[in-house]
């Protein structure tokens, strides 16, 4: 167990060792048990968390906000418009000032170069920076997902088939970050990962490189297929969500939506779940487009662990804050 995590940023999963992630999960279990028993957990009394959202959120915002409250602290909800960021104040000046006032900052910025913006913040920050989702990674979600899988399979992950499949959700172009975080993280914990998507919906080179390298290093497998039936056959974990063809059309929303709608039928339904292992679980980071990405029958059916997965955002995020915030002034 690693105890020296005070002040540590979480920008992407790869910056945390497996041992550090296991420490996070041990603290998560303690916090989850205390939550169930309604026991006090005021481990960050009077600490302030800044939550800077460039985009909307249900789960991430409320997991951080409820989480810091339950830990005895307070959250400041910020947007570019509520701050001077909209008037061009730089990441350096913003974070130099916030570092003098609070104890941690979470940022959601899924625009192209959102990750670069977070890196600029982190470079000058004296307090831990949490990636609440960017254009490349979504680490607080993938940690909650991994924790959920460990719970459901009693920590026996070696050789489990983890499928992350694209779905035809054509309302708008979703970021690639969820799929990218999953393919890079899951092979590190022994799972054999299958990525499925139609042509044109490729992921970025860096997460793909990490997926391959991590699979080789940890003795697991990583494959890419273009057929959803083939992907889910024999799967232990079926995780399916849409993303835009960003690597093909850049940020051209209209062209991206058109491409999504040219690939209908990528949906998780009962027929597909019947191809998976009988004990398989169905996952989605949410929000899920009901009866577009997944049928309601599956979402509300016996394989679905959606709401447990969403609840685990709270517990894993509390553990993240408890381990990294606190008396970071002492380390300056």
In this chain, which of 26, 120, 257, 286 binds ligand CP, going by CB under 6 A? 286
Q: Does residue 184 have a cis bond before it (omega within 30 degrees)?
A: no
Handedness of CA 291, 108, 151, 44 (dihedral sign): negative
- 285 scored as a contact of ligand CP (CB under 6 A): yes
- Per-residue x/- mask for ligand CP, residues 44 to 73, rule CB under 6 A? -------------xxxx-------------
Q: How far is the CB of 105 from ligand CP (least distance, A)?
A: 16
Query: Shortest distance, CB of residue 243 to ligand CP, whole angstroms?
Result: 13
Q: Closest CB to ligand CP among 79 and 277? A: 79
Contact indicator for 130, 9 with CB cutoff of 8 Å: yes
Alpha-carbon distances of 310 from 94, 134, 149, 275, rounded to whole Å: 31, 19, 12, 25
Q: Extract the tokens encoding 327.
A: 């008396």
- Other C-beta atoms lying within 10 Å of the C-beta of residue 234: 13
Binding mask 109-138 for ligand CP (x = CB under 6 A): ------------------------x-----
Smaller CB distance to ligand CP: residue 204 or 286? Answer: 286
| CA dist., res. 191 & res. 215, Å (int) | 8
Pick one of 141, 165, 167, 316: the residue that binds ligand CP (CB under 6 A): 141
Is the Cα torsion angle 304, 183, 267, 131 positive or negative in sign? Answer: positive
How far apart are the C-alpha atoms of 229 and 239, rounded to whole Å? 13
Shortest reach from residue 89's CB to ligand CP, in Å: 25
C-alpha distances (whole Å) from 227 to each of 189, 264, 267 are 25, 12, 12
To the nearest whole angstrom, how small is the minimum distance from the Cβ of residue 313 to ligand CP?
7
In the range 4-43, which residues lie near ligand CP by CB under 6 A?
A: none
Tell me whether residue 174 or residue 188 sits nearer to ligand CP (CB atom): 174
Residues that bind ligand CP (CB under 6 A): 57-60, 133, 141, 285-286
């Amino acid at each position: 167990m690693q105890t020296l995590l005070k002040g540590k940023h979480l920008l992407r999963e790869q910056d945390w060792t497996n041992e550090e992630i296991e420490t996070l999960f041990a603290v998560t279990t303690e916090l989850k048990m205390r939550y169930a028993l309604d026991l006090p957990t005021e481990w960050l009394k009077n600490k302030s968390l800044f939550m800077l959202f460039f985009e909307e959120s249900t789960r991430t915002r409320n997991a951080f906000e409820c989480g810091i409250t339950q830990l005895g602290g307070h959250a400041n909800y910020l947007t570019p418009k509520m701050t001077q960021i909209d008037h061009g104040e730089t990441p350096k000046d913003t974070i130099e000032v916030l570092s003098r006032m609070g104890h941690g900052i979470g940022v959601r910025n899924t625009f192209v170069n959102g990750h670069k913006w977070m890196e600029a913040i982190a470079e000058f920050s004296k307090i831990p920076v949490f990636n609440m989702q960017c254009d490349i990674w979504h680490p607080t979600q993938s940690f909650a997902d991994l924790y959920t899988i460990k719970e459901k399979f009693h920590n026996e992950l070696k050789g489990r088939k983890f499928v992350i499949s694209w779905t035809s959700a054509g309302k708008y172009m979703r970021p690639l970050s969820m799929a990218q975080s999953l393919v890079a993280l899951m092979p590190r914990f022994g799972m054999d990962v299958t990525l499925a998507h139609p042509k044109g919906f490729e992921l970025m080179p860096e997460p793909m490189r990490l997926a391959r390298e991590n699979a080789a290093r940890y003795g697991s497998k990583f494959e890419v297929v273009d057929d959803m039936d083939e992907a889910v056959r024999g799967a232990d974990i079926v995780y399916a969500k849409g993303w835009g063809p960003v690597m093909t059309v850049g940020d051209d929303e209209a062209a991206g939506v058109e491409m999504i709608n040219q690939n209908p039928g990528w949906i998780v339904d009962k027929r597909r779940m019947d191809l998976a292992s009988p004990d398989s679980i169905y996952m989605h980071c949410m929000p899920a487009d009901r009866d577009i990405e997944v049928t309601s029958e599956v979402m509300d059916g016996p394989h679905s662990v959606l709401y447990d997965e969403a609840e685990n955002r709270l517990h894993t995020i509390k553990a993240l804050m408890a381990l990294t915030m606190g008396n970071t002034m002492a380390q300056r």
